[in-house]
């Protein structure tokens, strides 16, 4: 899979072709606010390189996942949701509810969440 997909929505956000409210960025990771937030804090954390979903990850992506989850923990602290707790979700495929085929973790907080999800 090429690192950069011309028509992928989140690759386009990474490249700056589509605007997004960026809350964190480094060489490997971008985080931006979800356009249709489902909780007071709803941020999408994505790898800058194109990965389709969790289903495409391999052992070689271990360092990338460390970077992604490190960013998630840091953003949660910066957003002030860490003490109360929050949810991290990655939807995979049709039944998982995935609508954008570029790996992303929903960082959601600011309210309590039900379990199991609907």
Question: Interface residues with ligand 5GP (CB under 6 A)?
Answer: 9, 18, 20, 32-36, 44, 91, 97-100
From the list ligand 5GP, Zn ion, none, pick the one residue 50 interacts with, judged by a Cβ distance below 5 to 8 Å according to partner type.
Zn ion
Is the Cβ–Cβ distance between 39 and 81 less than 8 Å? no
Binds 53, which of ligand 5GP, Zn ion, none (CB < 5 to 8 A, cut-off by type)? none
Q: What is the DSSP letter of 25?
A: E
Q: How far apart are CA 26 and CA 5, in angstroms?
A: 19
Which residues inside 1-30 make contact with Zn ion, applying CB under 5 A?
5, 8, 10-11
Residue 104 annotated to the active site:
yes
* Inter-residue long-range contacts of 90-97, CB under 8 Å, 24+ positions, other chains counted: 90/53, 90/54, 92/53, 92/54, 92/55, 93/53, 93/55
Among ligand 5GP, Zn ion, none, the one that 55 touches (CB under a kind-dependent 5 to 8 A) is none
Residues that bind Zn ion (CB under 5 A): 5, 8, 10-11, 50, 102
Q: Active-site residues: which are they?
A: 104
């Amino acid at each position: 899979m090429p690192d950069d997909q011309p028509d992928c929505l989140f690759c386009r956000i990474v490249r700056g072709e589509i605007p997004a409210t960026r809350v964190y960025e480094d060489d490997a990771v971008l985080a931006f606010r979800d356009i249709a937030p489902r909780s007071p804090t709803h941020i999408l954390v994505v790898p800058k390189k194109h990965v389709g979903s969790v289903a495409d990850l391999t052992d070689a992506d271990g360092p990338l996942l460390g970077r992604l989850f490190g960013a998630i923990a840091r953003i949660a602290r910066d957003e002030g949701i860490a003490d109360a707790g929050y949810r991290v979700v990655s939807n995979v495929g049709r039944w998982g509810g995935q609508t954008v085929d570029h790996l992303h973790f929903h960082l959601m907080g600011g309210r309590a969440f039900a379990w199991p999800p609907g």
